[in-house]
């Protein structure tokens, strides 16, 4: 019988990694709250139509990567590959459009069937923020600033750069798309098979193709900046000026695109090369047509999502919270009293651990392995005078302390 293993593309998140994930989530949540974003959570699975409508029938996510199944009631269900669609669905089904503007923050697992690689698993985690009901350019500035400050709070701002582009409004984008189709059609023989397919429904996506042959064609392709109307130019200029005023540096990347019609104006990514190949760790953009595409009222929207695994890798190891105190009974006859003392210390708010077996030496060794800062030793002699021996596990110094004064002595370790 073969050994049981996690499903390919998933893995067990053990304490060190869980601690790093929690650190990313809590840092992002704290910054989001400063900006007035409230936490929400959507189900990890939705009706498949939620994602087909929003991601497009021809997108790689829908055609190749979604975990979709028919449930016992005959409904087609999909594990969420991203969370913006779920948030938009919640706005519609919950009648939240009456309460615009809305500021949401979220975090949780997503699912995509793709080749597992470093920092990219089939079950992965994201944090994200969505700003709904704000059509002004300063909404884009705020959402980008929020992302930048999350990265700053995590201490990784120096490891990333912000890439920025504009997709213009629908009028500008339609003109540009027509020009792109003509250009790429003239170079059809030089395009990859995937890009030839994209030319039919998602021509803008060819611009960010990673295929070497495509990149040569893309290098000479028309630029969006040549097709923007005055309104789009003014919108993008306001975004850039807003970022400049906040001291947020950026690089313009004309090949940074989003392929679906409901995307407009700002598209941005915070990318890094610190994890090997250049890759995005936080990305987003404006999606004014999304809610309407899903059958809701016309609703402006802009947001981003960030990969928790990749952010945790950038952050590196995260030390355990707080300082552990080890309670060590001297002799088996003191175990019951030591266990009661352990619980009293926990009730008082001290992080406390007690080994369940072993002699005094083994229990002290375990305390060192746990990284405990001090040990509270309780033997018959100490119990007789209602005291304990408090040993500093760093210096080895110890002192006799009454149980009445124990909390005061332990506070210096907390």
Dihedral, 58, 96, 26, 158 alpha carbons, nearest 10: 60
Specify the pLDDT at position 206.
86
Residue 107: CB partners within 8 Å, gap ≥ 6? 25, 28, 29, 39, 125, 126, 127, 128, 308
| Token pair for 186 | 């003239």
Using an 8 Å Cβ cutoff, are 251 and 199 in contact?
no
Kindly state the DSSP code that residue 401 receives in the 8-state scheme: E
- Residue 219, in any domain of the structure: no
Give yes or no: residues 270 and 124 share one domain.
yes
- Do residue 310 and residue 330 come from a single domain? no
> Which residue, of 257, 291, 315, is where some domain finishes?
315
What's the CA gap between 30 and 150, in Å, rounded? 9
Are 295 and 388 part of one and the same domain? Answer: no
- Within a domain: 186: no
Q: Is 267 found in the same domain as 136?
A: yes
Cα angle 368-372-375, degrees, rounded to a multiple of 5:
90
Q: Rounded to the nearest 5 degrees, what angle is found at the Cα of 373, between the Cα atoms of 370 and 379?
A: 90
DSSP 130: E
Assess whether 241 and 300 both reside in one domain. yes
What local confidence, expressed as pLDDT, does residue 58 receive? 57
Residue 213 lies in a domain: no
* 353 close to 326: Cβ distance less than 8 angstroms: yes
What per-residue string of b and e applies to 355-369 under the rule 16 or more CB within 10 Å gives b?
beeeeeeebbebbee
pLDDT of residue 177: 85
Give the DSSP H or E segment for 268: strand 264-272
pLDDT of residue 191: 87
Cα separations (Å) of 14 from 19, 22, 316? 9, 12, 15
Quick one: CA torsion of 139, 35, 304, 295, rounded to 10 degrees?
-70
Buried b or exposed e, range 154-181, using 16+ CB within 10 angstroms: bebbebbbbbbbbbbbeebbebbbebbe
Distance CA 76, CA 52 (A): 11
Structure tokens at 129: 């923020």
Residue pair 376/409 in contact (Cβ under 8 Å)? The answer is: no
Does residue 8 sit within a domain? no
- Contacting residues for 238 by C-beta, under 8 A, at least 6 apart: 137, 138, 141
Residue 306 lies in a domain: yes
In angstroms, rounded to a whole number, what is the distance separating the alpha carbons of residues 105 and 284?
14
- 3-state DSSP call for residue 103? strand
Same domain, 233 and 378: no
**Structural domain ending residue among the three candidates 284, 315, 346:** 315
Q: How far apart are CA 153 and CA 23, in angstroms?
A: 10
- One domain, residues 268 and 381: no
Q: Indicate whether 342 and 306 sit together in one domain.
A: no
| Of residues 157, 127, 145, 135, the one with CA closest to residue 315 | 157
Tell me the per-residue pLDDT of 341-365, one tens digit each, with 9 for 90 and over.
999 999 999 999 998 889 989 999 9
Q: How many domains does the chain have?
A: 2
DSSP 61: I
Question: Do residues 139 and 35 lie in contact, with contact meaning Cβ atoms separated by under 8 Å?
Answer: no
With a cut of 70, list the residues of the chain below it in pLDDT: 1-2, 56-60, 62-63, 259, 277-278
pLDDT value for 403: 92
Question: Are 64 and 120 within one domain?
Answer: yes
Flag whether 211 is in a domain: no
The answer to whether residues 311 and 340 belong to one domain is no
Residue 307 lies in a domain: yes
Do 397 and 305 have their domain in common?
no
Q: State residue 53's pLDDT score.
A: 82
Q: What is the pLDDT of residue 1?
A: 43
Q: Within 13 Å and on the Cβ side, how many CA atoms surround 295?
A: 8
> What range does the domain containing 117 cover?
15-169+229-315
Could you read off the pLDDT of 202-250 as tens digits, one per residue?
Answer: 788 888 788 888 888 888 888 888 889 999 999 999 999 999 999 999 9
CATH number where 303 lies: 3.30.930.10
Q: Which of 317, 268, 238 shows the shortest CA–CA distance to 167?
A: 268
Q: Is residue 346 part of a domain?
A: yes
Cα(382)–Cα(379) distance, integer angstroms = 5
Q: Give which of 11, 23, 245 is closest to 156, Cα–Cα.
A: 23
Which of 315, 333, 361 terminates a domain? The answer is: 315
Residues whose CB is less than 8 angstroms from the CB of residue 413 and which lie 6 or more positions away in sequence, other chains included: 323, 325, 373, 374
Q: What is the CATH number of the domain that holds 352?
A: 3.40.50.800
- Which pLDDT score is estimated for 2? 57
Per the DSSP assignment, residues forming a β-bridge with 13 are none
* pTM more than 0.85: yes
Q: In what order do the strands lie in the sheet with 264-272?
A: 38-39, 102-111, 123-132, 301-307, 279-286, 264-272, 161-166, 251-252
Shared-domain flag, residues 271 and 390: no
Strands 325-329 and 352-353 turn out to be: parallel
């Amino acid at each position: 019988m073969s050994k049981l293993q996690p499903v390919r593309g998933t893995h067990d998140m053990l304490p060190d990694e869980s601690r790093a994930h929690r650190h990313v989530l809590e840092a992002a949540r704290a910054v989001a709250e400063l900006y007035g974003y409230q936490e929400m959570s959507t189900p990890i699975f939705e009706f498949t139509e939620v994602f087909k409508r929003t991601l497009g029938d021809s997108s790689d996510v829908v055609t190749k990567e979604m975990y979709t199944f028919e449930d016992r009631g005959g409904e087609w269900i999909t594990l969420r590959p991203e969370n913006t669609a779920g948030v938009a669905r919640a706005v519609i089904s919950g009648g939240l459009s009456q309460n615009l503007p809305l500021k949401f923050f979220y975090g949780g697992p997503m699912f995509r069937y793709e080749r597992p690689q470093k920092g990219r698993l089939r079950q992965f985690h994201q944090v994200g923020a969505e700003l709904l009901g704000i059509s002004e350019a300063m909404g884009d500035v705020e959402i980008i600033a929020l992302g930048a400050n999350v990265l700053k709070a995590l201490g990784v701002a120096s490891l990333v750069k912000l890439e920025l582009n504009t997709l213009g409004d629908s009028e500008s984008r339609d003109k540009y798309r027509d020009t792109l189709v003509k250009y790429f059609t003239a170079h059809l023989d030089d395009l990859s098979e995937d890009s030839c397919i994209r030319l039919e429904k998602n021509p803008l996506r060819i611009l960010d193709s990673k295929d070497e042959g495509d990149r040569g064609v893309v290098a000479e392709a028309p630029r969006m900046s040549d097709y923007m109307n005055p309104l789009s130019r003014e919108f993008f200029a306001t975004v850039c000026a807003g970022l400049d005023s906040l001291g947020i540096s950026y690089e313009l990347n004309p090949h940074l695109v989003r392929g679906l019609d409901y995307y407009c104006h700002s598209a941005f990514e915070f990318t890094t090369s610190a994890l090997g190949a250049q890759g995005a760790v936080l990305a987003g953009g404006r999606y004014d047509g999304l809610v309407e595409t899903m059958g809701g009222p016309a609703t402006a929207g802009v947001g981003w999502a960030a990969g928790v695994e990749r952010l945790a890798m950038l952050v590196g190891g995260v030390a355990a919270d707080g300082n552990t105190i080890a309670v060590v009974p001297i002799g088996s006859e003191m175990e019951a009293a030591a266990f009661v003392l352990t619980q009293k210390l926990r009730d008082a708010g001290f992080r406390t651990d007690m080994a369940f077996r072993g002699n005094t030496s083994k229990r002290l060794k375990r305390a060192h392995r746990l990284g405990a800062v001090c040990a509270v030793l309780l033997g018959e002699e100490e119990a007789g005078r209602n005291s304990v021996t408090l040993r500093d596990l760093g210096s080895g110094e110890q002192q006799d302390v009454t149980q009445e004064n124990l909390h005061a002595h332990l506070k210096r370790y907390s």
